[in-house]
Amino acid sequence: MSNLQLINAEVVSFDNLTEKSAILIDGEKIAELSAEKSAAAEKIVDLSGLMVYPGFIDVHNHGAFGVDVNSADADDLRRVSQFLATEGVTAWLPTFVPDSDETYQKVIAAIGEVMRTQDSGEAEPAAQIVGVHYEGVFANEQMCGALRPEFFRKFTGGDELEKLPALENAVHLTTYAPEVEGGIELTEELTRRGWIPSIGHTKADVATLDRALAAGAKHVTHLFNAMTGVHHRDIGVAGWALTRDQISCEIIADGIHVHPEMLKFAANNKPADKLILVSDSVAPTGLGDGTYELWNEKIAVVGGKTQNERGSIAGSVITMLDAVRRMKSLGFSAAHVARMASFNAAKMLGIEKQHGSIEVGKRADLTALDENGEVKFVMIGGRVAVDKLS
């Protein structure tokens, strides 16, 4: 919709809150930020009492609303995108757990199909898929967590990466353990291809981690989880990530994967642009407690906590909205939370020129919350995806 203006909103920018701002939308872009109504606006939307964040970006999402990414077709992925939009998410990465070549090929084809139509008038506005996250294909079996080690692979410099199908004009994020056979060479090859190497499901020592960093690995998957922890005589993978300011880190802010005090510790000790909130959500997200079939085993969800038959936590059932609420409840400012939920992810993915903040010239991907943290209005690419204002 062209020439729509949002007025009377509290707009969350990088370092402050601008009260009663007006955002002029022209097509899919933000055309103007001002304090007054614009004569160019064909339609006015009053967001009095609401706080407008840049749309949330989830870089680690295995599915939701009954859909598992590993078995999803294009319609399934669209349903997840529509559900995520209702939770304030405007962009996301469908995330695989390790699986067969056939599964990768089938689902990547479905992702590509969705991406070709998602930002046009052919589809309802919904959270955009901006790429894919391959989690744990080259992981350490001793740190598998809920992943399935029978699908883990070794990197020999052969055709292992060729067997991971790629998307056109998209982000490719790959979680791997740098200590596995060929791990440093894998880091170099991922970097050469323009894929993002992310360290996770690992017990690498500091020397290996530093070699991976030098080879191009500058991101860590779900900090504290499926990695060695911090000890005063052995900093572990988590300590290494916390003490390297150039490293960005995901963190699952559900209060289960990581204790709330450790969430605070991480947010207070990483640079403001280096901590990224993720959901790590799985198919039961949005369905409530119960027993579900996931990744060929039973998953129990009790009190918002997942557990598989091996006794491991199997992802989360939160959304990015839940993560935002938790970090706000821990005392972090709206501007700090917006960085963790939006801009930092966009920067890590290399899409910050269009996503991640409310600035003139960027996509109009916006999420408006009321004082209780409830989603009232969502805009994706200048199109209204959620409107609960009346």
Structure tokens at 294: 């996931």
Which is it for strands 366-369 and 51-54: parallel, antiparallel or unpaired? antiparallel
Measured between alpha carbons, how far is 237 from 146 in angstroms, rounded to an integer?
19
Helices 101-117 and 74-86, interaxial angle, to 10°?
A: 60
Residues 6+ apart with CB under 8 A from 322: 253, 254, 279
Measured between alpha carbons, how far is 237 from 351 in angstroms, rounded to an integer?
27
Catalytic residue among 58, 68, 99, 280: 280
Containing H/E element for 237? helix 236-242
Q: Is residue 136 left, alpha or beta, with left meaning phi > 0 and alpha meaning psi from -120 to 50? A: left
Measured between alpha carbons, how far is 276 from 112 in angstroms, rounded to an integer?
25
Structure tokens at 14: 């990088």
Is 254 one of the catalytic residues? no
Structure tokens at 184: 């440093």
Active site residues: 280
